[in-house]
Amino acid sequence: MNIGIFDSGIGGMTLLHQALVMLPDESYIFYADTDNAPYGTKSREQVIALVDDVMRFMTMHDCKAVVIACNTATAAAAEIMRQKYPVPIIGIEPAVKPAIKESHGKRVIVAATPLTVREEKLQNLVRRVDDTHLVDLLALPRLVEFAERGEFVSDGVEQYLRNAFSPYRLEDYAELVLGCTHFNYFKDTFRKILPVNVHMIDGSEGTIRQLVHVLEHKKQLERNGGNNREFDARVKYFSSGRELKGEQELAYIRKLHERLEKMREL
Ligand code: DGL
């Protein structure tokens, strides 16, 4: 059986990448809903309908668990999908709690899409864990556009981010939460702009740990000694329902994995 991992686009590969490292013996369906990206500037109702379509696809493709590798889709639709589909659904959320813990009393910026920032799920999470009001929420919608067109390092990206951070006194901050999976592609530019004391954190490792926990509990974990470490050997890639098989498409996916591997070190 497969593990389904999906996002509006290439951001979800952050979780696929993490899953391949932690669970190298599983088979994966990776689904990027590129025809409908971005999700983060859509309404809640639109995102629920799109996620429902992807969930139907996943259940038809023999998935034993589905990872919503999109903070926006998790915020808008995870609960509703859990009521509708019997398959375990694991959703990524901005790593607000660990960020507050690590910040030792300094401030925290949670960067995400406009819909995630608006959604009650994130607002409730912040209310629950931020008793001393250290958290600021920042919507960065354009990063998803940059990522989807493969523009990871450019003057445009740097200018956009410098502008977005200009209202903040960055020396007061200790943590930047990458609350959208697309943002991981830009860690080198974030690193360039942020003072060294600001650490970046995202929820991908915690989410895959949760996936491991769920599969272990259901006795559905595949383990055969990590012989399948080849990154794309056990993944089928789909772009809004169309399987990616072309030489060029797969070469681009390999480049994305390479970029994510580099970004993991920052
Ligand atoms: N990658 C998604 C997230 O984690 C959203 C990107 C989008 O706006 O489509 O929130």
Q: How many residues does the chain have?
A: 266
The atom number, within ligand 1, closest to the CA of 182 reads 1
Is 70 noted as a catalytic residue in this protein? yes
pLDDT per residue rounded down to tens, the chain (266 residues): 999 999 999 999 999 999 998 998 999 999 999 999 999 999 999 999 999 999 999 999 999 999 999 999 999 999 999 999 999 999 999 999 999 999 999 999 999 999 999 999 999 999 999 999 999 999 999 999 999 999 999 999 999 999 999 999 999 999 999 999 999 999 999 999 999 999 999 999 999 999 999 999 999 998 776 555 565 568 999 999 999 999 999 999 999 999 999 999 88
3-state secondary structure 56-75: HHHHHCCEEEEEECCHHHHH
H helix runs in the chain, sequence order: 13-22, 44-60, 71-84, 96-103, 114-118, 120-129, 141-148, 155-165, 187-193, 204-217, 247-264
Is 63 noted as a catalytic residue in this protein? no
The atom number, within ligand 1, closest to the CA of 115 reads 8
In the set 47, 54, 135, 180, the catalytic residue is 180
| pTM for the full predicted model | 0.95
CA atoms within 13 A on the CB side of 49: 6
Rounded to the nearest angstrom, the distance between the alpha carbon of 263 and the centre of ligand 1 is: 18
Q: What are phi and psi of 100, to 5 degrees?
A: -65, -40
Show the tokens assigned to 185.
């592609």
For the chain, list the domains and their CATH numbers.
2-92+204-264 (3.40.50.1860), 96-202 (3.40.50.1860)
pLDDT tens-digit readout, 203-241: 999 999 999 999 999 999 987 765 555 655 689 999 999
Pocket test for ligand 1, best of 14, 16, 46, 71 (most atoms within 8 A of CB): 71
